[in-house]
Chains A and B, each alone.
Chain A
Amino acid sequence: QVQLVQSGAEVKKPGASVKVSCKASGYTFTSYGISWVRQAPGQGLEWMGWISAYNGNTNYAQKLQGRVTMTTDTSTSTAYMELRSLRSDDTAVYYCARDGAGDYMDVWGKGTTVTVSS
């Protein structure tokens, strides 16, 4: 079955970086893109950006431009999201989701909790 398996929870200090992985299985990885969405505690969904697993093209949310980098490794069907210069308000659950063209997300990972605290 189609699934996305994300890496485990992370605790980081302010100013550090975090890299979350998302391993896809059950479908042809390069036929879809991956969107990353985060959710701060008690808050709604925030789209972070999208990457094409076919050619690596990216589209990042304006708010995160310069701090976020999304990559893929087609040899392992894995997508990565790196967020730098972490702040306390980056504390959230980070989700990866399969997204054909950057418009809707039909399969979601279970989420990775990232806590930023000194």
Chain B
Amino acid sequence: QSVLTQPPSVSAAPGQKVTISCSGSSSNIGNNYVSWYQQLPGTAPKLLIYDNNKRPSGIPDRFSGSKSGTSATLGITGLQTGDEADYYCGTWDSSLSGVVFGGGTKLTVL
């Protein structure tokens, strides 16, 4: 059981928008920055969003992040078949004194 809760799967059609939620508590999301990672099949994770809503260089603005209270959301617009992947949220947990991840969300672009 992961400390952060994500939906196991989401799906949408090409060109549409999808959001992926990540729910936590005051010991993690509520008081720390959230990051998001994309893991394409058979590859290492890749940083998409850090510090709640910042994009590393090279990440298109189709990807966005937000945080409110103890929840965070990843948004992807203009969906492409190449966006099919597992997406993970992560943050620091002050009670555990370590990084925690969500269980991951599998995105299917129909």
Query: B103 contacts the other chain (Cβ, under 8 Å)?
Result: yes
The answer to whether B90 and A109 touch across the interface, beta carbons within 8 angstroms, is no
Given contacts A45-B90, A62-B96, contact A105 B47 (CB under 8 A): yes
**How many residues belonging to A are interface residues under a CB distance threshold of 8 Å?**
24
Q: Is the interface of A mostly helix, strand, loop or mixed?
A: strand
Q: Which residues of B contact A106 (CB under 8 A)?
A: 47, 50, 56
Shortest distance from the beta carbon of B65 to any chain A beta carbon, whole Å: 11
Q: Which residues of A contact B97 (CB under 8 A)?
A: 59, 62
Distance A97 CA – B91 CA, assembled complex (angstroms) = 15
Q: Which residues of A contact B100 (CB under 8 A)?
A: 47
The answer to whether A104 and B47 touch across the interface, beta carbons within 8 angstroms, is yes
Shortest distance from the beta carbon of B94 to any chain A beta carbon, whole Å: 12
A–B Cβ pairs within 8 angstroms, 22 of them = A35-B99, A37-B45, A44-B2, A44-B102, A44-B103, A45-B45, A45-B88, A47-B100, A49-B98, A50-B99, A59-B97, A59-B98, A62-B98, A103-B32, A103-B33, A103-B35, A103-B91, A103-B92, A104-B47, A105-B37, A106-B47, A108-B45
Given contacts A47-B98, A103-B33, A104-B47, 20 further A-B contacts (CB under 8 A): A44-B2, A44-B88, A45-B45, A45-B101, A45-B104, A47-B90, A47-B100, A49-B98, A50-B99, A59-B98, A60-B98, A97-B45, A102-B92, A103-B35, A103-B92, A103-B99, A105-B35, A105-B37, A106-B50, A108-B45
Chain A interfacial positions (CB closer than 8 Å to B):
35, 37, 44-47, 49-50, 59-62, 95, 97, 102-111
Q: Shortest 8 CB-CB distances between A and B: which pairs?
A: A104-B35, A47-B99, A108-B44, A104-B50, A44-B104, A45-B101, A106-B47, A44-B103
